[in-house]
Structure 1
C-alpha cells in the first residue's frame, strides 16, 4: 500500500467544522443526509456517498480538497479521495 502524501499537506490544527449541525448544502436546501464527513482542509461538512446528493465528494472534487474524516460520533477514520484509501 502506498503512503498518502496529502495528509502531510493538511493544516494544523484541524479546522473547525463550518456547520457542526449537519451537511452545509443539505441544511441550506432542506434535504436529507445519511452520514456526515468533514473536509480536513477547510472544515466543510458534507454528506457521504450513501446520501442522495453526495456533497462531501462533490466538495473534494470542486475545491481540490482530497482528505476528509468521518463526522459521525465515535468514528475517527480519514479518507483520501485522490489515493482512494483510508489514511
Structure 2
C-alpha cells in the first residue's frame, strides 16, 4: 500500500530501534531517521556517519521521517521540503528510554565535537 506521494509505503515497518549500520559497526548516532519506503532506520546528517542520507543516495528512496519520540515530520530529499505525512505502522520512534545520543555505552565523551553542523 502506498500513499499519494511517491516513496511512501504505509506497510513498511521500522528495521529496528537504532541505526542499522551504526549498530552493526559498534558505532553511535545523534538522532534517528526512518525511510518511509522500506523502513530502514539510519542516523541523521548531524551524526558522524549520516546513514539516512547515504541510504537515500544508495537506494533512491526519497522520503524520511523522524524516528525520535514526539517528532512527527517528513522530509522529501527530491524537493528539500518538510511536510506533514500520513500515519505509518508503528513504532514511530525509538524507545523513550533509549538515550540521545545513543546507544547507551557506545557514545564517546567528546560526542558533541564529532557532530556535523
Task: Tell me the TM-score normalized by structure 2.
Answer: 0.65
Of Structure 1 and Structure 2, which has the larger fraction of its residues in helix? 1
| Residues 3-22 of structure 1 mapped to structure 2, 5 A cutoff | 8-9=5-6, 10-13=8-11, 15-19=12-16, 21-22=17-18
Task: Tell me the TM-score normalized by structure 1.
Answer: 0.86
The CA RMSD measured in Å over matched residues stands at: 1.4
| Residues 69-80 of structure 1 mapped to structure 2, 5 A cutoff | 69-80=65-76
Question: Radius of gyration: which is bigger?
Answer: 2
The 4+ residue runs of structure 1 with deviation greater than 3 A are none
How far apart in 1 are the matches of 2:75 and 2:23?
Answer: 23
Query: May I ask how many residue pairs the two structures share in their alignment?
Result: 80
Superposition deviation, residue 8 in structure 1: 1.4
Superposition deviation, residue 63 in structure 1: 0.2
Secondary structure class of the residue paired with 1:8: coil
Structure 2: runs of 5 or more not aligned: 84-117
